[in-house]
Each structure stands twice: as structure tokens, then as C-alpha cells.
Structure 1
Amino acid sequence: MLRRLLRPACRELVYAVVLLCAAAVLIACPQQSMQAAQQGISLCAETIVPSLFPFFVLSGMVVELGLARHLGRLVERVMWPLFRVNGAGATALVLGLVGGYPVGARTAIELYQKGCCSQTETERLLAFCNNSGPAFILGVVGAGVFGSGRAGLALYLVHVAASVCVGVLFRFYGGVEERCKPDLRPAGGGVSFALAFTRSVRSALTGVLNICAFVMTFSVILGLLARVGVLETLTRALTWFGMDAQQAYQLLRGLLEVSSGVRGLAGSGRLPMAAFMLGWAGLCVHCQVLSFLMDSGLRVGTYLAGKALHGALSALFAVGLVRWFPNALPAAGWLVPQVENGLVPKLSVSMAAAWVLWLGFLAVALFGRRNRKKRGGKGRQVAV
């Protein structure tokens, strides 16, 4: 039976039926579809574009100017023994942990396309570099959903710890492989700042538009699934396994779109579920990453397996944090008073982080070029 369903003709028939049903629902519920699309547009205009666009420009310039190579030389001794990824991959990891989805994945793919990482190294990197940023976890989830910056900080620490663990586990992926040779890493010195800037802005605009398209699409999908009762039916099915109806409903929404899922959670008892959603990231984010993976030759399964493991480990760590360290949340309160008091908006944190990272990468690049010029000057003097 399964083999018959996997045949091309059967797949095409299933696709046709699904598309016809979707068209029928759109025609029957035009008002709900329009409202869901408007909500998606509002989310893109108010949150996604202002928070992600600076990081996309930043990541593009880091790769175009060759700054990733200079940073890689500094952290090579940490990245390779821990994750079996050359030092240039630290750029994707850092930007992913600060900028949020899908900055890390997009940066990793750009590094691969520029020859800074091998295919195996990039697939290892994709398994753990696409993470949620502190602005979303501390501001939206912590202060907004749970009403506590302490809960947000705990979730972010759990999120980062699980990401690192996934990276350590995936170091064994692909077997034993020598680190990327120097001739695979482009010098990057021939690209002018103006050219790198224009390329990065154009690429960032394309990337943000892709993300906004998927956000709007999934906003409509979630609205229509709720309208026709599909989510309610699946929720009742999950309650047969002992899950609370409200938790099951939010879990289904979180599997599709992470922000919609976590916004319905409340109370410290649901901290593990929020941690799982943040680690899994949702199908909407995965589709955004797949749009960057197109024609790259990189395996999608490795990325999805890493995100599933990230979600499971995040939930496990959150359960342990709540059960074995009940005083961990109050003890973390002194680290995040600005979040609890609402003095630092989430977008301000993202913009400030982007500028700090940009200045740091620029300093590394200038230091690297200065050393290279000194070595070149000494070589010319010897030749004379």
C-alpha cells in the first residue's frame, strides 16, 4: 500500500486533491484568508524586516570581504576539535545565536558557496547554527509570554546549551575528514567595500522577501486550518495520548510556526514545551532555510535531523532545570533587569548587537589585512 502511494502518479493525485481542497477553502473563507495574510504582513513589517535585514547585510559583508577567514584563524583551535568545522564556521554560529532564524543557516550556506567550508563541514554546521536570537527569547517569549525575563534567560541558556550539544554530536557525521584546505578558502582581498556592500544589500533584500513570503503563507495556512477544524481534530487525537487539549493545540501550531505556538503558552510548567518549539523552530523557518539551500547540493536531512534533536534536547534540559534546579530562575533575575522592566525593546537589542558584531568583524579584518601587508612588505624587501 505504501509503495503504491509513493508512485509518481499517486503523488500527483494526492497533490492535486490537496490543492483543490486548499482552493475551495480559500474561496469559501475569503475574509479569514485576508485577515490571516494581513496579520502576516504586519508581523513582517513590524518585526521581521527591522530585526533580520541588518543581520543579513552584516553576514553578507562578512563573507564578501573575507572577514570570516580572519575570524576563523582566531577560533580554529576551538571549532575543529569541538565540532570538526573549520574556524570560518564560527561566523555562522555567532550570527545565528545573536541574529536569530535563519541568519545562521544563511551565513553557513554563503560560506560554503564562497569555498570557506567543505560540504561535510557545512552540513555539520547547518545542524546546529540556525538558532533563535536573544531578542526573541528574552523579549517575546520571556517577558511577553511568561511575564518574566528570568524565564526568558533560562530558555535562552537552555537553547544555546542544546545547540552546542547538537554540534558536538554531529561532529561524527560524515566520518573522519581532514579540515578544509587553505586553497578552498578565497582570499577575499580583491572585493572592494562598495561592491561587497551593494551585493550584500541586494542579497539581504532577496532573503528578507523570501522569509516574508513564507511567513505570510504559513499565517494563512494556520488561519485556514483552524477555520476548517483540522487543528481541532488533530488536537483531539493527541488528547488520546494523555496530553492537555490546550497544550496539544499550541504544540501543533508551534510545529508549523514557532511564534504562533509559543504565544499561546503561559506558566512555568510549560517551559519545556516552549524550549522544544524554540529548538525545532517550526516548518515555516525550515521552508525559509530550504529556499536558501536550493541548488546548493547540501543535504536537507542533516539539517532537519539537527533541528529535531535540538528541540528534544532543549525540552530535556528545560525539564531538568525546572525539576532539579527550582531556584535557577530566581537566581538568574539579576542578569536581566532591563528585560523585566521593559527598558530595552527587542528590536533595539537586535540593532545594537548587529552594530557591535559589525565593529568586531571589521576590527578583525583590519588586523588581518595589516598583518598580511607587513608580511608582504618583508617579502618584497628580502626579494630586493
Structure 2
Amino acid sequence: MTKKFSFILSVFLALSAFFGLLLCPAASTGGARTGLLLCSGVIIPSLFPFMVIGNLFLDMGIPHKLGKIFSPIAKKLFGVSGAGSAAFFLGLAGGYPLGAICISEMYSKGTLKKAEAERLLSFCNNSGPAFIVSVAGSAVFGSVQIGFFLYGAHIIGAILTGMLLRKKNDSSTSESLPINPVSFSSAFTESIKRSAATMVTVCGFVVFFSVLVGLLDGSLASLSGSISARFGTELHFSRSLLTGILELGTGTSSMLGLSTNAENLALCSFIIGWGGISVHAQAAAVVREGGLSPAWHTFGKLLHGVLSALITLFAYPLFF
């Protein structure tokens, strides 16, 4: 019954998208253009270099070395082996979905056990400073200082998520195992190839969900009005929330024009912490290919979004 319902729903959504593209060509074209601009202007410049470095680190066994250094801290804070710290740091530096990519690669290489890898997904796949500071802070709210404030809330939210979801005395954690040494030239070449292939997938998801947001423009406007009437929120606020639930970049950019106050910044923190369904789809595509379940990732990102919003809401009066 479940499989039949899933099949019917998939067919319905596919047909709806097909007719939407036919009936609303201007909206779909505009959405695609927005997605492509986001990819070329933000995602590729900020993510691709870190993706190459991340893959290079993995091939050269850097997580094994980091595991020895950070193992005591990682086990105490998060209940995981030290090897996972590489994914955490790279995710915070490079942005979505680099953390998920690193975890999937480490699991494939045998550096992480399955249960530990899936739990790491809950707090290691995060946004990076290039997006938060440049886009959310500078472009949307007109302040680099606001961007760093949001980035700080994002980091603290990720740490708290990992601490809240830790398991004491967990036998699923693994010791960081060394991998066979690979020459730098070979590792660098493979890193470029894998990163380029993954980048195409990531941008594909971003463009598709940007088109989806464009096609749902009328529905989102109507639903935003209902939410605003129900909860007394500003229409612009409700619209950004709904857009951000679907797609991170479009949702964050849609906040342009909102005043810089605690509530609006908390919304921005939630959108960034949650990541949007687009990021969830990117992460799911990566981890399922490696044999992992995205369930922990979905729950962790929801918790991360809520915690980041609360941190922003209560910390704002202390800094501004």
C-alpha cells in the first residue's frame, strides 16, 4: 500500500511539474535563471575549492591524523570518534553539502562505522562563511558584522545539536583507521574529478528547486497571507519562511528589504540552519549513494535551525 501510494504521489508530482513548466514558462525560466546565478555567483566559487581540499584530505588520510588529535574532545562533546571532526570543520568552512560528502566518503573508506556516520550527519553538514557573511550578512542585511553574528549562531547551534544528540557509551563509534598512502598528484587529480561531478549534482538541485519556487510563486503568496493573518506576522516574513523551507539561497535572498531586528535575524538563522529541502535532497543523494540513511540529517537540521534561531533571538540584544 505504501509503495503504491508513493508511486501515485511521484507520478502526480512529476505530471504537475511537467504541466507547470508548460503553462508557466516565464516563471520556470526566471527560476532557472535565479538558480544559475546563485550557482555561478555563490555556490561554485565558495564550495568547489573546499570540496577539492576535502577530497584531497580524505585521500591523503588527514582525518586519521585529526582523529588522534581531536579524539578526546569529540568523544566528550559528541560521543563520536575524532575522525568525524574533519567533516565538522570542513562543513563549517566550505558549506552545504561538504559535510555530508566527507562523512559519506569516510564511511566508504571504512574510517567510520555506519551508525556513527549517520549520527555525524545530524550536525556536521553546515553552511559556510562565504554564504552566511557575504549573502545573508552583506547582501541581504547590508552588514558584514551581522553576517559574522549569524555565522557564530550557526556554529554554536551545530555544536549544541551534536551535544544534544550524543550517545553515552556508544559502541558504534570507531577508531580512526589509517588508509593506504596515495601520491599527492594522484589524490589531487581524483579530487578534482569527484568534486566537479558532485558540483554538477549540487547545482542541478539548486536550479531545480529555484524553478519549483518560481512555479509555486502564487501558491506561496496565498499561503503566506494565510499564515500572516493567523499569527500576525509580516507578509514578507511569512513569504521568506516558506521560500526558505524549500530552497536556502532563494529563501535567504527573499529577506532583502526586511528590517534588521532580532525576529528577522532569527528567521534567517532558522533558514540557514535548516538548509532547505534542496540541501536535504543534495545530502540524501550523496549519502544514499554511499549506503547511509538521511534520517538523522533531516532531524538534526530541523533541530539546528530551531537552536540557531533561539540563539540569535536571545543574543541579538547583547551585541546590537
Shared fold, TM over 0.5: yes
Deviation at 1:327, TM superposition (A): 4.1
Residue 28 of structure 1, CA deviation: 1.3
The answer to whether the Cα contact below 8 Å between 2:113 and 2:172 also exists between their aligned partners in 1 is no
Deviates more, 1:259-268 or 1:208-217: 259-268
Match of 1:271 in 2: 265
1:192 deviation in Å? 1.7
Determine the C-alpha separation between the residues in 1 that align with 2:78 and 2:233.
36
Q: Which runs of 5+ in 2 are unaligned?
A: none
Matched, 1:217 2:208: yes
Aligned with 1:85: secondary structure?
coil
Aligned residues: 315
- Percent identity of paired positions between Structure 1 and Structure 2: 37
Amino acid at match of 1:272: A
The aligned amino acid for 1:145 is: V
Q: 1:352 is matched with which residue?
A: none
Letter aligned with residue 165 of structure 1: L
Q: Structure 1: which 5+ residue stretches go unaligned?
A: 1-5, 330-384
Q: Is the 8 A contact 1:25 1:224 kept in 2?
A: yes
State whether structure 2 residue 235 is matched by structure 1 residue 245: yes
For residues 308 and 212 of structure 2, what CA distance do their matches in structure 1 show?
Answer: 27
1:178 shift after superposition: 5.7
Judging changes above 3 Å, is the alpha-carbon distance between structure 1 residues 9 and 126 closer, same or farther for their aligned structure 2 residues? closer
Aligned residues of 1:114 and 1:186 also touching (Cα < 8 A) = no
Partner of 1:129: 124
User: Is 1:89 equivalent to 2:90 in the alignment?
Assistant: no
In the alignment, the residues of structure 1 paired with residue 151 and residue 175 of structure 2 have an alpha-carbon distance, to the nearest angstrom, of 35
The whole-number CA distance in structure 2 between the counterparts of 1:100 and 1:181 is 26
Give the equivalent residue in structure 2 for 1:110. Answer: 105
Residue number in structure 2 paired with 1:309? 303
Deviation (angstroms), 1:207: 0.6
Shift in alpha-carbon separation, 1:50–1:241, aligned structure 2, 3 A: same
Contact 2:67 2:81 in 1 (8 A): yes
Amino acid at match of 1:238: I
Preserved CA contact (<8 Å) 1:59 1:95: yes
Q: Indicate the structure (1 or 2) with the bigger Cα radius of gyration.
A: 1
Q: Does 1:199 align with 2:190?
A: yes
What amino acid is the match of 2:105? E
Distance in 1 between the 2:69 and 2:2 partners? 51
Counterpart residue type for residue 61 of structure 2: G
User: Post-superposition shift, 1:47?
Assistant: 2.2
With 302-311 and 28-37 compared, the bigger mean Cα shift is at 28-37
Matched, 1:100 2:101: no
Indicate the larger mover: 26-35 or 159-168: 26-35
Query: Following superposition of structure 1 onto structure 2, how do residues 280-299 of structure 1 map, counting pairs within 5 Å?
Result: 280-299=274-293
CA distance in 2, matches of 1:82, 1:327: 26
Q: Which residue of 1 aligns with 2:249?
A: 259
The letter for the 1-side match of 2:31 is A
CA distance in structure 1 between the partners assigned to 2:249 and 2:105 by the alignment: 26
Matches within 5 A, 1:45-194: 45-172=40-167, 176-177=170-171, 179-181=173-175, 185-189=177-181, 191-194=182-185
Q: Report the aligned-residue RMSD.
A: 1.7
Change (3 A) 1:46 1:153: closer
Shift in Å, 1:236: 2.6
**In the TM superposition, what is the alpha-carbon distance from 1:246 to its structure 2 partner?**
1.5
Distance, in Å, in 1 between the alignment partners of 2:30 and 2:254 is: 19
In 2 relative to 1, CA 180–31 (structure 1 residues): closer, same or farther, beyond 3 Å?
A: same
Query: d(CA) in 2 for partners of 1:10 and 1:109?
Result: 30
Secondary structure of 1:188's partner?
coil
* Pairing partner for 1:236 from 201, 225, 230: 225
Q: Secondary structure at the match of 2:231?
A: coil
In 1, Cα distance between the equivalents of 2:110 and 2:294?
19
Q: Is the 8 A contact 1:232 1:249 kept in 2?
A: yes
Query: Deviation digits for residues 136-187 of structure 1, max 9, x if unmatched?
Result: 11121112111122221211111111100001111128x73164145xx233
How far does residue 284 in structure 1 lie from its aligned partner after superposition? 0.8
Give the Cα separation in 2 of the matches to 1:315 and 1:124: 22
Aligned to 2:319: 328
SS class of match (1:268): coil
What is the CA–CA distance in structure 2 between the aligned matches of 1:51 and 1:150, rounded to whole Å? 19
With structure 2 as the length reference, what TM-score do the two structures score? Answer: 0.93
- 1:122–1:7: structure 2 CA closer, same or farther, 3 Å change rule? closer
Tell me, in whole angstroms, the C-alpha distance in 1 between the residues paired with 2:185 and 2:119. Answer: 32
- Structure 1 counterpart of 2:41, one-letter code: E
Deviations 1:53-108 (A, max 9, x none): 11111111101111111121111111111111111111111111111111111111
